[in-house]
A and B are shown apart, each in its own frame.
Chain A
């Protein structure tokens, strides 16, 4: 935890310099930036001119009351839906008009609010699926380049088992993913995201519906991977999780940005409290 607080101080400084000049601090250049995002569903404006920035190497939080548009924003960032206006930059390239699978190719992978696993595939197969650009994903290669495919499969299998081991699911590798508990599904989803070799992982409520012991395990995992260089953007309602993990927190309310700051700042921000608790 200690080193995490140290890094959050660094990001604190960074957060104040974002608008003028980013990329000078330890956490450095923004990996993901979104500006002026708008999404309307009929008459409802779900996301209204929202912005967000995720610096390289950070764990950035995204919070807000129910219906604030957090998940819609996530869907916009990962191109699952296209914005009516605004821009999303990933690694300095605009990505808002790319198909979702292309986003994953470029190194940004998301998880889902309700963990989605591929039930009738084994846990290991769930992991193996995540590898990008496999030779065996082209059907003619299956008949023509069997050796190459077998080699890749062996390598990926080792890597998958390593990750499964780190999330504590190695003993379940050959079970159907559909037989996992809710918390295990969350872990599998995170492991699967890591398996894609991403630069940025978007986690949608990693602690929702998970028991406290497993929450700790999930948080430990996120911190470890972060120390190894992975960047995270996390939606979460559990404030303990947000406070212990995040370098910086963005608050969304009614589709608009309400506040940005360190967890400590957000905790004491009267506007945020108002949005959550009402007047």
Chain B
């Protein structure tokens, strides 16, 4: 169970990081990027191919990020002058082109066969007690910082609601409580680091990356730079009239978002310990979209919460067939368990349904601001 939870933390952190990149592009700048997964693929393949050749990971990962940023620039150069819906179509096309190149250029990527047995970070790391405690200290620092933020937010919201409690507050509170369990699991995994160095190390690295990305993006969002991006999202003609080089700012947003996605790509390669083109189908992009919309576009904390909710949902519904089977044995009118293929589709269907309900009841997302939706242009 603990192993399973550690993997869950890793996957959630990876998707949170990936979605933070999209949130910068869509939530803050208003760029409709339907090809976000292209950067992830580029990051994953660059990291594993270079590190297989003996290039250290600490060089390979930034190189992947730089390559993805360059891809962002190239896409942006040809499309950012167009209207936003054109950008969405071109980006989804580019992401498919990248995936098909990975599938067909077998000399480079081994095609559908996939790349395996590449170096993983910290896989040969056998820490002493002191360094294990140090790692736990890092994790604890991040957890304390996160809980400080959550606590401030809860208090603020509680005061704004004049002492009453609403659904969001309950939801955030529940997740915060659940987080304590996860923290305990993570800390004990780090204490028993040597049981599975690669996975435990990856867990710490993922969490650190998310924390750093979150901190940097929050700084950006509150800065004059972030203000320009939001202005472009609202009305780029105004930004232009006020002397902002809109094209260049959009490029920067695409670049940074893509670089973040590329780092998420390196992490997912290490998590899966093998890289296949099929990992980078457009569906992955739309998971990021679900996460961003769920949490509230333009809200970094919301994006992380969205990732947590999506993966909590995925893992909770994993046991759906067992549940229906059990119910079937008691109440015969309930149909027996569905086969795995249909069950997967059914889970996605349910997500769609939940999203529709959310959009009707809470169109601004979980942490989004309701007032913003009632404003005229």
Minimum distance in angstroms from A105 CB to a CB of chain B = 5
- Taken together as a complex, chains A and B put the C-alpha atoms of A133 and B266 apart, in Å, by 36
**B227 neighbours in A (Cβ, 8 Å):** 121, 125, 128-129
Contact with A along B8-21 (1 / 0, CB 8 A): 00000000000000
A82, CB-defined interface residue at 8 Å = no
CB-contacts of A52-101 with B (<8 A): 78, 80, 99-101
Q: Is B178 interfacial (CB 8 A cutoff)?
A: no
What is the bound-complex CA distance between A193 and B234, given in angstroms?
A: 17
Looking at B110-118, B132-140, B240-248, B314-322, the stretch in contact with chain A turns out to be B240-248
Q: Is B231 an interface residue (CB 8 A)?
A: yes
List A contacts of B85 (CB < 8 A).
none
- Give every chain A residue within 8 A of B241 (Cβ-Cβ): 78, 80, 100, 104, 109-112
- Given the complex of chains A and B, what is the CA–CA distance between A170 and B196 in angstroms? 60
Q: Which of B242-285 contact A (CB under 8 A)?
A: 242-246, 252, 256
Chain A window 190-214, contacts with chain B (Cβ cutoff 8 Å), 1 for yes, 0 for no: 0010001000000000000000000
Name the residue among A78, A120, A121, A146 with the largest chain B CB count within 10 angstroms: A120
Main secondary structure of the interface of B (DSSP, over half): helix
Q: How far is the CB of A95 from chain B (nearest CB, A)?
A: 13
Contacting residues, chain A, for B242 (C-beta < 8 A):
101, 104, 109, 129-130, 192, 196
With A136-B224, A137-B225 as known contacts, state yes or no: A179 contacts B234, CB within 8 Å. no
Closest chain-A Cβ to B245's Cβ sits at a distance in Å of 5
Task: Name the residue on B nearest A140 (C-beta).
Answer: B225
What bracket does the count of chain A residues touching chain B fall in? 35 or more
Q: Is A139 an interface residue (CB 8 A)?
A: yes
Task: State whether B223 touches A136 (Cβ < 8 A).
Answer: yes
Known: A121-B230, A121-B231. Is A142-B243 also a contact (CB below 8 A)?
no
Q: For residue B57, give the distance in angstroms from its CB to the closest CB of chain A.
A: 23
**A-B pair number, CB within 8 angstroms:** 108
Residues of the A chain whose Cβ atoms lie less than 8 Å from the Cβ of B238: 112, 116-118
Q: What sequence of 0s and 1s flags, for each residue 236-247 of chain A, a beta carbon within 8 Å of any chain B beta carbon?
A: 000000000000
Cβ of A254 < 8 Å from any Cβ of B? no
Interface residue A132 (Cβ < 8 Å from any Cβ of B): yes
Determine whether A119 belongs to the interface, using a CB cutoff of 8 Å to chain B. yes
Which of B71-79, B288-296, B369-377 is the interface stretch? B369-377
A80 to B246, CA, bound (A): 13
Residues of chain A contacted by B225 (CB below 8 angstroms): 136-139, 141-142
- State whether A139 touches B230 (Cβ < 8 A): no
Q: In angstroms, how far is the closest chain B Cβ from the Cβ of A137? A: 5
- Residue B219 at the chain A interface, CB threshold 8 Å: yes
Contact in complex: A80, B240 (CB < 8 Å): yes
Cα–Cα distance between A112 and B242 once the two chains are bound (Å): 12
Min CB gap B296→A, angstroms:
12
Whether a CB of chain B sits under 8 angstroms from the CB of A12 is no
Q: Which of B216, B223, B244, B372 contacts A176 (CB 8 A)?
A: B372
* A129 touching B228 in the complex, CB below 8 Å, given contacts A119-B375, A178-B377: yes
Residues of B within 8 A of A (CB): 216, 219-220, 223-228, 230-231, 233-235, 237-246, 252, 256, 371-372, 375-377
18 A-B residue pairs with Cβ-Cβ distance under 8 Å, sorted by A, are A80-B241, A101-B246, A104-B241, A105-B243, A109-B241, A112-B237, A112-B238, A118-B231, A119-B234, A120-B230, A120-B372, A129-B224, A129-B244, A178-B372, A178-B375, A178-B376, A192-B242, A196-B242
